[in-house]
Amino acid sequence: MAVYNTTSLNADEFINHEEIQETLAYADAHKNDIDLIDSILEKARPQKSGNGCRCAGLTHREASVLLACDIPEKIERMYEIAEEIKQAFYGNRIVLFAPLYLSNYCVNGCLYCPYHLKNKHIARKKLTQEEIREEVIALQDMGHKRLAIEAGEDPVNNPIEYILESIRTIYSINHKNGAIRRVNVNIAATTVENYKKLHDAGIGTYILFQETYNRKSYEELHPTGPKHDYSWHTEAMDRAMEGGIDDVGLGVLFGLESYRYEFAGLLMHAEHLEAVHGVGPHTISVPRVKHADDINPDVFDNSIPDEMFKKIIACIRIAVPYTGMIISTREGEKVREEALKLGISQISGGSRTSVGGYTQAERPHDTEQFDVSDQRTLDEVVKWLMEKDHIPSFCTACYREGRTGDRFMSLCKSGQILNCCHPNALMTLTEYLVDYASDATKKVGFKMIEEELKKIPKDKVREITAEHIEAIKNSDRRDFRF
């Protein structure tokens, strides 16, 4: 029997089944222990520290107690603290990105994904470099600066050389005032050598969803293909960090297994990365199983209602206060709006989950990985965010200035966000408004920028930001950043 060990590099030890079972039992035993719950909530609150704030975060056991608690007033308090933490470390900024699907060729047999090998009626497509160029120009014309590239696992059709060439193509394209400034990569688990190649290619975050942390369920859900190897997949982030990638993104596909099991496993993985590498995940994503092609989400019996989904988001935000949180267009407008208050710091906008979808006038469905619930344009999403008092940010400055991994976390923890990320967000929003926005969105946006400039604490930073914003409005000068 494997023994729980946070610093082990063995998947069965840092994601330990017995420890998760004991954690769930502990949470059940203490879910109505008001004194304990209050002490956990007090520990979680942001505390003033010098010019900034600090948060203690929570262990997977403490957070699991909160998730199990069903006392209404305590749940309300969780939501309040989650919002406090979000505001303390990320302010009202929401970073925007889009997925770019390069290829849906895949050799795996995943039961929840329409790209599985046995699906013979889905159209298979792999973008050429010229088609990638056309997709990127379409995304630039929408206003995007940050992409997450996606590809199925297929050593013949999608080798690492294809991914690297695609990244070079994406970064090389400057169209009008557009440029993709950060490419995040969501591809299958690979070797340290290949992670070094991705790092050298200048990727932002390496993203890999675990799908489920329950080994038995994982192996049943991945019956064939290289992804069947639970340990290889689960230990991928350690190899990525060994390869020099210090920004990694975790996530599970909620609905495949018990949400409480996944929640504990996810936090244990974050604790492991912190213990071994000195920095936890850069982001955590919270996708839910959705309909797609031959995939019916109703066959999975662990679906989560919206209210519980909100609670999961709030508890993750409380447990890992400095980690970015992502919600995609898998979720509709209403769910996304509520999630933004509870800790989400990044969302996709104007997304198409099909290969080659951005160059099509009508949204294609024949190669989609999942149904898109929020089908609004990027401009509509930007205007909506501002009307809800969120600053849409297209900023990529930290990545390009080398503020990644523990350097980003120290910036976040020191409270310097308002003097760095906040002005960068306003400058990139100005770029969007000048170059891409509708008149209605411009009207809302310029008014917001005027008010948000006043919130920058340092006079000099505020003055420089205002000067750069005027330069963006009155010239073709772009890409100012702190």
Query: Where are the chain's structural domains?
Result: 11-87, 89-375, 416-474
Mean pLDDT (the chain) is 93
pLDDT value of position 54: 86
pLDDT value of position 241: 97
Q: How far apart are CA 382 and CA 274, in angstroms?
A: 34
pLDDT value of position 32: 96
20, 242, 279, 398 alpha-carbon torsion, rounded to 10°: -130
246 CB neighbour count, 10 Å cutoff: 20
φ, ψ (nearest 5 deg) of residue 326: -120, 135
Encoded amino acid at 291, one letter: H
φ, ψ (nearest 5 deg) of residue 351: -75, 145
pLDDT in tens, 347-358: 999 999 899 999
CB 61 within 8 A of CB 26: yes
CB 142 within 8 A of CB 178: no
pLDDT value of position 369: 67
Q: How far apart are CA 45 and CA 50, in angstroms?
A: 16
The tally of CA atoms less than 13 A away on the side-chain side of residue 479 is 11
- Helix and strand totals (H; E) in the chain: 20, 13
**Which two three-digit tokens encode residue 309?**
């989904």
CB 65 within 8 A of CB 40: yes
Among candidates 433, 434, 426, which has minimal Cα distance to 464? Answer: 426
Q: List all residues 6 or more positions away from 298 whose beta carbon is below 8 Å from its beta carbon.
A: none
pLDDT value of position 361: 80
C-alpha distances in Å from residue 341, one per residue of 53, 321, 328, 463: 19, 14, 15, 30
Architecture of the domain whose range is 89-375:
Alpha-Beta Barrel (3.20)
Q: How far apart are CA 466 and CA 481, in angstroms?
A: 12
The length of the chain in residues reads 482
SS3 107: coil
C-alpha distances in Å from residue 8, one per residue of 2, 5, 81, 234, 273: 11, 5, 32, 12, 10
Among candidates 227, 231, 234, 229, which has minimal Cα distance to 250? Answer: 234
SS3 146: strand
Q: How far apart are CA 303 and CA 275, in angstroms?
A: 32
The list of the chain residues with pLDDT below 50 reads: none
232 CB neighbour count, 10 Å cutoff: 16
373, 378, 384, 386 alpha-carbon torsion, rounded to 10°: 140
H/E element, 265: helix 259-277
